[in-house]
Amino acid sequence: MLLENDNFLLELTKLFQQQRVKNSGSLSLIMKRYDGRTKPKPKLTKKQRLEQKSSSISHPTTHETVVEYKCLVRAVYGSKKLSTIVSSKDINRFQLAYSNLLKANMDTLKKKAKENKTTGQTSTNTNSNTPLSPRMTTATTTTATTIASSSSSSASNQQKKTPTTPAKRK
């Protein structure tokens, strides 16, 4: 369906809402440059081709015509198809509205996990599966930290045992 710019944006929001509700199917958005032609470009006959060749040789090509291009934007969801044509004077308004629309509606994407710092500080990962490691002054790997933590815990256990035994002896 060929619509006006504003209508297109309205219908596009509806498509995004439908996709959110159904939670299935893909929404495709396509952008392409358009030069306003409504008829297909006919192939030149042999005569016309020869004329074109001779004219281009005699007159060096100096394009002075100003061509105003437009942009064709299409949206497809399932069997629903929308399209609109944006010309250069509407481009500012359309571009703002369009980018706001996309940012607002494409919200099911994940947040990127922060990278671990090399100093061994605890990292706040939203998607990682690594367990929180205790703070170490030296840079170590996670296996080393688990070994270290287990050794430290065993040492503390031994320390706990030694004060009790002299108490019992007494």
Partner 1 sequence: MFIQSWDEFAKQAERLYLNNPMACRFCLKYRNEKLILRLTDNHTCLQYKTKYAQDLKKAEKLMSSLLRHMASKEA
Instruction: Please calculate the CA angle 109-29-74 and round it to the nearest 5 degrees.
Output: 160
The only residue of 88, 141, 150, 151 in contact with partner 1, by rule CB under 8 A: 88
69 binds partner 1 (CB under 8 A): yes
29 binds partner 1 (CB under 8 A): yes
Tokens of 81: 């198809």
The H or E element containing residue 61 is: none
d(CA 32, CA 69): 10
- In the complex, least distance from residue 84 CB atom to partner 1, rounded to whole angstroms: 12
- In the complex, least distance from residue 38 CB atom to partner 1, rounded to whole angstroms: 16
List binders of partner 1 among 93-122 (CB under 8 A).
Answer: 94-95, 98-99, 102-103, 106-112
The H or E element containing residue 112 is: none
End-to-end CA distance of the chain: 95
- In the complex, least distance from residue 13 CB atom to partner 1, rounded to whole angstroms: 14
Residue-by-residue DSSP string for 135-161 = P-SS---HHHHHHHHHHHHHHHHHHHH
27 binds partner 1 (CB under 8 A): yes
133 Rama class: left (phi>0) / alpha (psi -120 to 50) / beta: beta
Residues in contact with partner 1, counted by CB under 8 A, come to a total of 39
30 binds partner 1 (CB under 8 A): yes
The only residue of 70, 97, 116, 145 in contact with partner 1, by rule CB under 8 A: 70
Binding site residues, partner 1, CB under 8 A: 19, 23-35, 63-64, 66-71, 86-88, 91, 94-95, 98-99, 102-103, 106-112
